[in-house]
Structure 1
Amino acid sequence: MPLPEANSVWPPRRWAPELAEIAVDDAWYSGDPKRLAAVYQGQARRRDGRRRLWGRDRASTPDRRESRLHIPMPADVARRSAGLLMGEPPRVTVQNSALQARLDELLGPRAERTLLEAAEVSAALGGVYLVAAWDAEIGPRPLLTTVHHDAALPEARYGHLVALTCWEELERRGSTVLRRLERHERGRIEHALYEGTADNIGRQVPLTEHPTTAAVVDSLGPSGAIETGIPALTAAYWPNIGPNRSHRGSPLGRSDLQGPARDMCDALDEVWSSWMRDIRLARARLIVPAGYLRNRGPGHGASFDDDQEIWSTLDIPPTDTGAGITMSQFAIRVAEHKASSDALVRQIVEAAGYSPSTFGLDGGPPVTATETLARGHDSMVTRRAKISYASPAVADIVEAMLQLDRALGWSRLTPERPVVAFGAAVAPDAQTQAQTLSLLGQAQAVSTETKVRMVNPEWDADAVAAEVARIRVETGQAVPDPVPDFVS
């Protein structure tokens, strides 16, 4: 899709269903009750015919206090998904040691934070785009940035991203909307500025009309675009997981809450709203006769002082039991609400592909890493699936960054395609690992080198060899053969 024609519908109608669903995911992820109500306005009923909590119209009763309560379960699912995937930053390696040193410099703590945030957004919205950028004022190196799922339109062929159009709303003046568009193709990046309306791209205006786009004017080549000088695309798509069940055949990934999980989140909010309503109604209230009220004077009404300790004698018949002070206090259905809430949370977690133990729903904490992995089997399966989607995207963008680093003159090293390895989700238990190595050693099933690699998977070949040599010296295995070779 090239840059849009003037006065065309924006976003394009082709992507309207996917973008509408991403808007729903975004509302749940944000946790903002106003955004949830706006998204579901006019959708008071679910597919099963039941009323939807966040679709009920409250505009007709403006004086009514908002009693609906949102539980941030969608955001919690996205956060835990990112933690499960990125508990340890992925290790990105190349063969050339000098290039590896430069790569470690490019992928420092800032890039690690970017990937962690990208993992959370991808889980919440269904995907995220990784984009390579550069700014000489920031420093002589390519930068890793992200574009969220609802701010870009991809072009894919045979499952591979071939172009990407990103957009950003810069200004909104009345009905006029100013948008910046950025299109990534192989070898070039186009920039454009459009002045239109909320649903129309409008006309293209000079880049100098806004400071954000004016900054790139000096970087444009003869073709009117920025020539990157590299064969790779300066963008990569990181889908959360596939397939997209709501839009089969779509190149976009699906969020962790796609499908009935959203309705279950709505039901969870309804349970908690009911629970809080019970608490409000259960506040102790005193019902007193009108004679107990103190007149505050004309126009000021009357009040009852519940702290007053001494009361004047009133002419009340002793048999009139209904004329005294009566306390009203309703019961709070704690057990019923908690059981309903726990059941819904479990269903939401399982629908998202995770084990209940990942969310602390299966009793006490496990003692060993082996028990953790056993309880979290579904979470580990989902994690492995997500890694298969994340690894190619990270490798693509890092390779593009290395190519840009050389093309822009900041490095003379020959770029390589990196290998991306995600760390373990659960740190291995030292006692269990020691027992495993001991049993393997007794069975003479592994070498000393293999044992060292199992204990230190992040070590390179030189470090492993040095450790093996030290072990052999300490255990006496390095002693030379006392029997000289037979010389014939």
Structure 2
Amino acid sequence: MALPDPNTSWPPKPWDEAYKVYAESETWRVGDADAIHEFYRGERPAATHRRDGELYEGGVVGWVSSKFWGRPVPPGQNRTRLHVPAPADVASLASASVFSNPPELRFTDKQSKNTIDRLELIGNSDQAHSTFNTMGELKSVFGASVLVSEWDTEIADHVWLSAYGADVALPEFRKGKLVAVTLWTEYRDGNEYYRHLERHAVGAIEHALYLGTADKIGQRIPLQDRDETAYLATLVNENSVILTGIDRLTASYNMNLPTWAWRKKGALANAGRSDFAQLYPLFDALDEAYSSWMRDLKLGAAKAVVPQAFLETLGRGRGASFDIDRELFVGLNTPGNPDGDKIEQVQFEIRTEEHEATTTELWRMIYRTAGLGTRSVDKDTGRQLTATGELLQDDDKEATRGKKILYDKRAIAEQLAVALELDGKLFAGKGGGQFAPPEVRFPDSAQVDPEKQARTIQYLSAAGAISVWQSVKMFNPDWDDTAVGAEVNRILAEKRAAAAMVPDPATFDGGDPTQDPNNPDNQGGNPDGGQ
């Protein structure tokens, strides 16, 4: 698939179907309450089923009301709708589970110092680690991300890696392998949509600028027509292409997890699955539960019902008010109603325990479905789990992490090799060459529970299955061998000192208590205790 023909549909088929799902995921991730409401209100069919401002039963109304955020608000009502950023938490935690401790990138064969230094700069730097975290969050939300090698000799003296979400990419697959991908950026001026398309193919990157509408790509126009793309006009050749000089693709498609919904739909089968899949109803239900809780707080606020005699008129047609700080009131003597001048308090029950239990269970379902484990939820609520339950949670979380890492390793290693080769061509004398993909090594676990790790070491030590040196190394993985050895020596020295203070049971006979002058039974009497 080359760049789109003029005035064709945007986004092109079959990706228009995927982009609808991307839009839903982005709406939840951004978390703007008004945008979520408008998104689901906009999902309704064209017919409105309205008559004189009233809603029909069933039909569209029933369909919309299946979603908390899609329910219409009747005129004159102001309902509490609270959005809880659970989608943002899922995306952030999903990325942190893989990239909170960044991977180590290294060559498996011997390389020059310059090449190793460029590897550290491009792949092991803080900038690279932040890019990997962004990549992890993007693929969690959209099901995939695109890792790209980029450069600009005027602003940096090295190639760097950038991550893009699947919602701004049009990948092209052949037998499940990426052969090209088009990234796009949109600029809007009123009803005019400018779209910059950047198609990465083997050995070339083509740039194009289109002017169209919301659903049409429109006509291709010169790159100079937008300030944002004008600089590219000096970099491309007569065919609007930048030749990379290498026979590799300067972009890698990094799937989150395999998709199930689109596995029979051609190219969409390779699109990847979002962590939000199957979570939209739970996000909706969680917001409804918290909104109900907030509604109870509002209704539960104490209200005073006062007799009309206590009200101070504001003038004809302007109603009356009640001065809560006033100390003296003159009421009416109403025969047969002695309580007519009393102030009454009205306060509804706030169902705190019920709402807390509901929201906690929804949080647990969201985390469990996303493969994040529920340890943090259980810890916050004080819920106690058996050791088996903890292991099952950890196994589920680690299994999900392990599956995602397989895709991350391939994309990072593949694109890092491309970046290093480009770097050598663009910045002579600082490394370069064509390399096999470097090794990408992830830590055993992104986040280690110190208490759990201590118990594990204790069990292994009791079983005689681990040495003191390995125990120290396991608990302090960042230490080098010198630091580990010093700590082992301190531990062994303390053990020897403690052992020296304990009598040897093989030689200790306990002595004769009757000969001990400090024994009070031996002072001034015989051994039998008589006088």
User: Which TM bucket (shorter chain)?
Assistant: 0.7 to 0.9
Compared CA separation, residues 173 and 50, structure 1 to 2 (3 A): closer
Compared CA separation, residues 370 and 221, structure 1 to 2 (3 A): farther
1:128 maps to which residue? Answer: 145
**CA deviation string 1:309-344 (max 9, x = no partner):** 222354234734245322111111112211221222
Determine whether 1:393 maps to 2:411: yes
Whether contact under 8 Å (1:372, 1:426) holds in the other structure is no
Among residues 346, 354, 361, which one is paired with 1:328 in the alignment?
346
Secondary structure of the structure 2 residue equivalent to 1:13: coil
Instruction: Determine the C-alpha separation between the residues in 2 that align with 1:141 and 1:439.
Output: 52
Secondary structure of the structure 2 residue equivalent to 1:216: helix
Compared CA separation, residues 427 and 173, structure 1 to 2 (3 A): closer
Determine whether 1:138 maps to 2:155: yes
Instruction: Determine the C-alpha separation between the residues in 1 that align with 2:250 and 2:62.
Output: 42
Aligned length: 463
Instruction: Determine the C-alpha separation between the residues in 1 that align with 2:29 and 2:35.
Output: 10
Q: What letter matches 1:15 in structure 2?
A: W
Compared CA separation, residues 370 and 101, structure 1 to 2 (3 A): farther
Whether contact under 8 Å (1:373, 1:426) holds in the other structure is no
Instruction: Determine the C-alpha separation between the residues in 1 that align with 2:473 and 2:407.
Output: 27
Whether contact under 8 Å (2:472, 2:488) holds in the other structure is no
Q: CA deviation at 1:221?
A: 2.8
1:53 maps to which residue? Answer: 68
Q: CA deviation at 1:134?
A: 0.5
Determine whether 1:224 maps to 2:219: no
**CA deviation string 1:364-421 (max 9, x = no partner):** 5999x99976642211111111111111111111111111101213434334211111
Compared CA separation, residues 428 and 80, structure 1 to 2 (3 A): closer
Whether contact under 8 Å (2:180, 2:202) holds in the other structure is yes
**CA deviation string 1:219-275 (max 9, x = no partner):** 11354300011111111111111134355452111111212x211211111111111
Secondary structure of the structure 1 residue equivalent to 2:416: helix
TM-score normalised by L of structure 2: 0.78
Compared CA separation, residues 363 and 319, structure 1 to 2 (3 A): closer
Q: Any stretches of 5+ residues in structure 1 without a counterpart?
A: 476-488
**CA deviation string 1:84-109 (max 9, x = no partner):** 11120111111325222211112311
Determine whether 1:88 maps to 2:101: yes
**CA deviation string 1:420-462 (max 9, x = no partner):** 111222347574576577578x67x9898x8898677679xxx
Secondary structure of the structure 2 residue equivalent to 1:70: coil
| 1:242-281 → structure 2 map (5 Å cutoff) | 242-246=258-262, 248-249=264-265, 250-259=269-278, 261-281=279-299
Compared CA separation, residues 133 and 372, structure 1 to 2 (3 A): farther
2:399 maps to which residue? Answer: 381
Q: What letter matches 1:167 in structure 2?
A: W
1:205 maps to which residue? Answer: 221
Instruction: Determine the C-alpha separation between the residues in 2 that align with 1:272 and 1:15.
Output: 35
**CA deviation string 1:58-84 (max 9, x = no partner):** 4x63x5335111111111111111111
Which range is displaced more, 201-210 or 144-153? 144-153
Whether contact under 8 Å (2:65, 2:71) holds in the other structure is no
| 1:157-196 → structure 2 map (5 Å cutoff) | 157-170=174-187, 172-196=188-212
Compared CA separation, residues 435 and 274, structure 1 to 2 (3 A): closer
2:446 maps to which residue? Answer: 425
Determine whether 1:7 maps to 2:7: yes
Q: CA deviation at 1:218?
A: 1.5
Instruction: Determine the C-alpha separation between the residues in 2 that align with 1:433 and 1:340.
Output: 34
Q: CA deviation at 1:46?
A: 11
Secondary structure of the structure 1 residue equivalent to 2:210: strand
Instruction: Determine the C-alpha separation between the residues in 1 that align with 2:205 and 2:406.
Output: 28
Q: CA deviation at 1:9?
A: 0.7
Whether contact under 8 Å (1:282, 1:331) holds in the other structure is yes
Q: CA deviation at 1:349?
A: 1.7
1:147 maps to which residue? Answer: 164
Compared CA separation, residues 42 and 174, structure 1 to 2 (3 A): closer
Among residues 238, 242, 262, which one is paired with 2:254 in the alignment?
238
Instruction: Determine the C-alpha separation between the residues in 1 that align with 2:295 and 2:458.
Output: 54
2:433 maps to which residue? Answer: 414
Compared CA separation, residues 187 and 446, structure 1 to 2 (3 A): farther
Determine whether 1:319 maps to 2:337: yes
Q: CA deviation at 1:34?
A: 1.7
Determine whether 1:70 maps to 2:83: yes
Q: What letter matches 2:367 in structure 1?
A: V
Whether contact under 8 Å (2:310, 2:330) holds in the other structure is no
Whether contact under 8 Å (1:239, 1:252) holds in the other structure is yes
Larger radius of gyration: 2
Determine whether 1:300 maps to 2:318: yes
Instruction: Determine the C-alpha separation between the residues in 1 that align with 2:292 and 2:483.
Output: 64
Instruction: Determine the C-alpha separation between the residues in 2 that align with 1:141 and 1:214.
Output: 22
Instruction: Determine the C-alpha separation between the residues in 1 that align with 2:334 and 2:112.
Output: 97
Structural RMSD (CA): 3.4
Whether contact under 8 Å (1:133, 1:145) holds in the other structure is yes
Q: What letter matches 2:23 in structure 1?
A: A
Compared CA separation, residues 251 and 326, structure 1 to 2 (3 A): same
Instruction: Determine the C-alpha separation between the residues in 1 that align with 2:61 and 2:404.
Output: 30
Compared CA separation, residues 239 and 285, structure 1 to 2 (3 A): same
**CA deviation string 1:144-183 (max 9, x = no partner):** 112222111101122221101111112x233221111110
Instruction: Determine the C-alpha separation between the residues in 2 that align with 1:447 and 1:318.
Output: 90
Instruction: Determine the C-alpha separation between the residues in 2 that align with 1:47 and 1:303.
Output: 42
Secondary structure of the structure 1 residue equivalent to 2:270: coil
Q: Any stretches of 5+ residues in structure 2 without a counterpart?
A: 45-59, 493-531
1:100 maps to which residue? Answer: 116
Instruction: Determine the C-alpha separation between the residues in 1 that align with 2:412 and 2:101.
Output: 15
Q: What letter matches 1:114 in structure 2?
A: T
TM-score normalised by L of structure 1: 0.85
Whether contact under 8 Å (2:118, 2:431) holds in the other structure is no
Which range is displaced more, 415-424 or 196-205? 415-424
Secondary structure of the structure 2 residue equivalent to 1:154: strand
Instruction: Determine the C-alpha separation between the residues in 2 that align with 1:46 and 1:57.
Output: 8
Determine whether 1:355 maps to 2:373: yes
